[in-house]
Structure 1
Amino acid sequence: MNLALDLTSVLVMSALVVNVSGVLFIIGTLLRRDEGAGRIWALGFLAAMLTTLAYLIWAQSSDAWWAVAIGNGAFVAGTGCMWLGCRRFNGHRIDWPSIVVALATLGAAGSVFAAGPTGGDWAGALWLFLPLVVLAGAAAGECLRGELRSSRTAWALAAVFSVQSLFFLGRTIVYLTAGVDSALFQRAFGTVAASFVTVTLSIVAVVATSVLRASRAPMRGHFRPAGLGTARDGILAQDVFLAALADLSDRARRRSELVGVIAVRIDDLEQISTAFGSDVARTVTETWRAGVRRHAPSNSFVAEDGLSGLLVGGLMESPREARRQAGAIYRGLFDDLGTVGAGGDLGAVIPVVGVGVALSDTTGYDAEALSGVARGAARRAATSVDTSILVGEAEEDQAVSR
């Protein structure tokens, strides 16, 4: 059997699967008008599509050494975008990680161009393998923390990235110890083996990311931001909230006034969507958002806080008053959510709600610190069997929120 024909056939199969998966994901992203992690993941799938096409060109022509450079660079860029998308989903910074991905991409492509036409099929191999080990491993770790940690779908995505990282780690070790001409490398870590791994992981990745995107994109599309960073239902964007809270905290510090942030979190929206359907999940979301705004003090700010959280910030008369307001929000929200599905066959659909409180007398007047402490307390409250309202402390909750 002709090895070149086998290699070409496998690469064609790989390109077909990856490109179909990528096209479906990109179309879904456009239809849902996703502005967050889904858009970055779509760039990752687009880079994966370019990777398979570049390698297919290389397999067809031995003179197309430049296609290896394009394929290697796109491979690293695609995996890097998947990591960046996971960070965006979790609400973490992507500025310096984007620089890391850009440099790794340039290194993977530039090393092949530096070797030139005489570099061979494996030119710049280490500049491809090592970034993939690191970026895929980082993506796996990101899937197991923050918002993604609470989703079992993200666990499958973490498994995908873990397998990819371990595969290229093994590929690197065998490459350095036995060489590309060894039987072990050709059978276990060669292009054919890598193609089968790519096909399998691509199928799992597109399903997992589609489910994760679907859990967030419908809300993003329904509550599209209007002017001045405010959604149509009167809830601020998080950056606008932090700016307003920072200004309030600066003025309150001078007068020794108490500033508080109340975080309200729904912990099982994805499970509700799976069990009762997206329409019920949307109704729960609308009721939750409207309820928090209705029951929050009239002089407070209400803002987005990721997929399943809202923040309420403002001046508080005392710690006791802050806890009283948090209790009022929780009780009012519980009554509002009790009406969802109550008139139908489903019965009331009440999600798990956690409320966390952070106060400037223990946390300080930093807006991000206050938000982080409240967020961490709300996460613990949502999983606590003793209480649904917790007051956070700076030391323990700032670490949780990062």
Structure 2
Amino acid sequence: MIAVSLQEGTIVLDPFSVRMVLGLVILTLIVISCVSSQRRRSPYAEWWRVALCLFLAGNAAFLLNGTDFQPWANPLGKALVVAGTFCIWAGARTLRDHRVHPWFLAAASIPGFVASVVDDPGNSVWSGGLVYLGLTTLGLTLAGLELWFAKPVRSRITRFLSIIAGLTALYYLFRAISFVLDGPTSQVFQTFFGFAPAALMHLILLVAVSSTMNTLSNKQLIKRLRERADRDHLTGLLNRGAFLELASRSLAESSPRGAALILADLDNFKAVNDEHGHAAGDAALRAFAAACTSSVRSTDIVARYGGEEFVLLLPGATQQRAEAIASEISGRLAATKGPDGLPFPTVSYGVTSTGADVQDLAFMINVADAALYSAKAQGRNRVVGADPADVESAAEASRPPS
């Protein structure tokens, strides 16, 4: 039975009863989450389950308030709830393909624990309360921002969750302000920011996130499966099909600025496999892929075109810039030691660029391939560029008469 007391005409729910109800709801959500997501192990769902478990453990620790265990249980409860709040933020970050190391959650919860310990938790359930409320507000605010800007899976769901997290953060901000101005024992604080109103806000947040978890988890899993289908499993770069699709779209969008294209081929790659084994060849491919991604911008498109051949599209880049990037990639690769200290193979490059009038990706690849063939013929380990003026003249000559 839920106990109530009357204070000047106001009904105040018994904190123990409120926390029991909240604990049962959290436990129910954990069971539902585990049952409905047995075959869906998305990062978002995993973080959310950790958050629920931390909330349950923190709520259980708060149930020990008023007992001999309060001096340690109360600070522990605050630390667990803060860690759970930041788990919501960590889960939201996975929707943007960002990671949070578990140690950060411990670091975020330690200040609340320490503040509560040094503030006489044995005599006050609100020891370290301002730090606890401030950290909870911060965690919910960060979660709301991550959900709002979750571009890969932006939808009405993430906007809805962002608003819920934002409103909960705003409530905790007002709760902290009332804590400072009125005190935790005041009628204003007890009526609007006490255990019962806070539990209601918790329930709204928990139910809102739980009700949408499967949908967001499915979207995240589908996105990851699509990315795996578009990626080369060895190097992690785009595969040929994905490159052609993305590069064609990027080339059309970058028409006012033009673009440059680099075609690269590892020299004497077959000899590496024959003499040192396929493991050495795989290491060379991975090392070259790493050198590429370290040398280009986030807007550039890099792919394994096939075998030991790679292709890069650099929107807005000039011919000179593309040739400089090719040289930079070779420099990075040469500075990297292979298995057992063996040097990696050298690389030959064919580079071309285009103005605003030439936007045919297949034509650019053919021109770069011819330049690459010339680099091989000249002795390998070099960058050969196709003059942009010659490219445009060849494109004009190849067009059928109107």
Coarse TM-score class (shorter-chain normalised): 0.5 to 0.7
Alignment of 1:188-337 (within 5 A): 188-218=192-222, 220=224, 228=234, 244-248=288-292, 261-262=300-301, 299-300=309-310, 317-320=351-354, 323-325=359-361
Alignment of 1:1-400 (within 5 A): 2-3=4-5, 6-34=14-42, 36-58=43-65, 61=67, 63-95=69-101, 100-147=104-151, 150-218=154-222, 220=224, 228=234, 244-248=288-292, 261-262=300-301, 299-300=309-310, 317-320=351-354, 323-325=359-361
Deviation (angstroms), 1:260: 9.0
| TM-score for both structures, normalised by structure 1 | 0.57
Q: Matched residues in 2 for 1:218 and 1:194: separation? A: 36
Deviation (angstroms), 1:227: 7.5
Q: Matched residues in 2 for 1:260 and 1:77: separation? A: 35
Deviation (angstroms), 1:174: 0.5
RMSD over aligned Cα, in angstroms? 4.3
Q: Quick one: which amino acid aligns to residue 23 of structure 2?
A: A
C-alpha change, 1:242 and 1:13, in structure 2 (3 Å) is farther
Per-residue Cα deviation, 1:55-109 (whole angstroms, up to 9, x for no partner) = 23337x36434222222111110111111122222023535xx655322201112
5+ residue gaps in structure 1? 254-258, 264-291, 303-312, 330-402
Aligned residues: 276
- Kept after mapping to 1: 8 A contact 2:116/2:128: yes
Secondary structure in 1 matching 2:208? helix
Q: Quick one: which amino acid aligns to residue 166 of structure 2?
A: S
C-alpha change, 1:52 and 1:244, in structure 2 (3 Å) is farther
- Kept after mapping to 2: 8 A contact 1:149/1:155: no
Deviation (angstroms), 1:2: 4.0
Deviation (angstroms), 1:248: 3.8
- Identity among equivalent positions (%) equals 21
Match of 2:378 in 1: none
C-alpha change, 1:249 and 1:137, in structure 2 (3 Å) is closer
Per-residue Cα deviation, 1:179-218 (whole angstroms, up to 9, x for no partner) = 1121110000001111111111110011233321121225
Deviation (angstroms), 1:119: 3.9
5+ residue gaps in structure 2? 6-11, 243-282, 313-325, 330-348, 366-402
Q: Matched residues in 1 for 2:195 and 2:223: separation? A: 41
- Kept after mapping to 2: 8 A contact 1:112/1:119: no
Deviation (angstroms), 1:51: 2.0
Deviation (angstroms), 1:165: 0.9
C-alpha change, 1:198 and 1:248, in structure 2 (3 Å) is closer
| TM-score for both structures, normalised by structure 2 | 0.57
Q: Which has the higher Rg, Structure 1 or Structure 2?
A: 2
Deviation (angstroms), 1:118: 3.2
Per-residue Cα deviation, 1:157-194 (whole angstroms, up to 9, x for no partner) = 11121012111100110110011121110000001111
Deviation (angstroms), 1:242: 9.1
More helix by share: 1
Q: Matched residues in 2 for 1:107 and 1:42: separation? A: 23
